[in-house]
Chain A
Amino acid sequence: MVTRGFFSGRRPPSDIDARIPPGQYLEQGFPVLSAGPTPRVRTEDWSFTLKHGPRPVKKWNWAEFNALPQSKMTRDIHCVTAWTKFNTPWQGVLIDDIFADAGIEPPTAFTLALSFDGYSTNVPTKDLVTGKAMVALLYEGKPIPADHGGPARLLVPHLYFWKSAKWVNGLQFTERDEPGFWELRGYHMYGDPWREQRYSSDP
């Protein structure tokens, strides 16, 4: 339905149009969104635990985690609140390298990312491996600000950005696709921005 009197808009130039998923607009800043206050997690208190169901597989402290192989990833990110930001540069540990260090082949098809503030979000395991995702430790070459999820956040850039859990402190393999915090509150189980999977009623 064409809206009477709506012509201008912030229409992206045609050369970058193909990089902007449907319903998104290009944002130069880096907006902050979260369900609660920003937790202040000190790196001396930080840890990351890989779990299969309730059973811990391996746990790293900050120094141990930072000693894992680090990779860089520069990606476009897409927030469900409709902003898209190009070329965000991250450095961290690929999920593949976390699994390798734990000596584990993913035992289930589903994973929950867990955070210090009790947040959780579900991501199919296949969307975390083969170089698709990392636990990011640096943004633009510097420690990630707490507002943006530091000391460490999950980065799954091909899904809406709520899947890239801030203040991440673990991954848990689950037998079934278990909804996380926002997925229990009306948001999509998968969240592909190119298919506009924003809310649970989206196909």
Chain B
Amino acid sequence: MSAEPQPQSPWQTATISRVEKRTPRVTSFWFQPSRPFTHLAGQHVDVRLTAPDGYQARRSYSIASAPEAGAGVELAIERLDDGEVSPFFHDVAEVGDEIELRGPLGGHFIWEVSDGGPILLVGGGSGVVPLMAMVRHRASQKSAAPIALVLSARVWDEVIFRDELIGLDDRRDGFDLVLTLTREQARRPADYSRRVDAKMMAQAMERLPKAPRLAYVCGSNAFVSAAAEALIDAGVPSGLIRTERYGV
């Protein structure tokens, strides 16, 4: 029996190359992996922090950047006050720091332009992150696949990627943005000021040329449960709905 080669560790070092505050509670961090990789829109990476005594904490974060972005891997990290990893990023991490990460990971909550459309995306709060990778992927590939994104946030200033999404919406090239604010009045004519429901889902689907071939829902567990029920009530077969739930 020949000696097996030592498998390469799936973990690698990545250097933080840029930090940008997105909303009061969400900051984007760009990572330059020492072994560059190409991800699929919707995939995540695992991040691992190690204390001097060897204690490790690891979390999964969805990738916000498009696969073809090339400027590093963008993770948009929401500060959870009782968290142990997100406060580190918000309070300690800075450009030049080296962080261990592993990935890309995940083979279900993904979309490529070759998969085609129409696609309905439904995000709650930081649940927009993997959906943003899909929207950016569509834009950078100049895909004509119709996509509608329904994005729920508490208030206008907590809509992550807001200006970029409105800019893409303004192109009128088959991408439609619908914002719904749960604690503030809507600011744009077509937007809503309430929690997602079946009527909102039905109206979002009317923006697509035909019924969606797939729907992707991402957010907190409560949001995903409510949005998935709303989609089913609006007539989307449950087998076409893919979900990703953050935390509890």
Chain A interface residues (CB < 8 Å from chain B):
1-11, 22-23, 25, 27, 29-39, 81-82, 117-118, 147, 181-182, 184-186, 199, 201-203
Contact = CB atoms under 8 A, between A and B. Distances in A.
B242 A3 contact: no
> Size range of the interface on B?
35 or more
B238 A6 contact: no
A22 B58 CA distance: 10
Nearest to A202: B10
A3 B49 contact: yes
B62 to A, nearest CB: 12
A126 to B, nearest CB: 25
A1 B57 contact: no
Interface of B: 7, 10, 13, 48-52, 55-60, 84, 88, 92-93, 97-100, 105-109, 221, 225, 228-229, 231-232, 238-239, 241-243, 245, 247-248
Contact of B60 (A2, A10, A36, A81): A81
Contacts of B92: 4-6
Given A9-B55, A82-B59, A184-B107, A118 B245 contact: no
Given A6-B92, A23-B58, A36 B243 contact: yes
B221 A5 contact: no
Contacts of A201: 7, 10
A39 B243 CA distance: 13
B124 to A, nearest CB: 14
A9 B107 contact: no
Nearest to B54: A2
16 contacts: A3-B97, A4-B92, A4-B98, A5-B93, A8-B84, A9-B51, A10-B57, A10-B84, A27-B248, A32-B245, A33-B245, A35-B242, A37-B231, A37-B241, A147-B225, A185-B107
Contacts of B105: 186, 199
Contact of B7 (A7, A23, A184, A203): A203
Contacts of B57: 6, 9-10, 25
Contacts of B238: 36-37, 39, 117
Contacts of A6: 49-51, 57, 88, 92
Given A6-B88, A23-B58, A32-B248, 20 more contacts: A3-B49, A3-B88, A4-B92, A6-B92, A9-B57, A23-B56, A25-B57, A29-B248, A31-B247, A31-B248, A36-B228, A36-B242, A38-B225, A82-B58, A117-B238, A182-B108, A185-B107, A199-B10, A199-B105, A201-B10
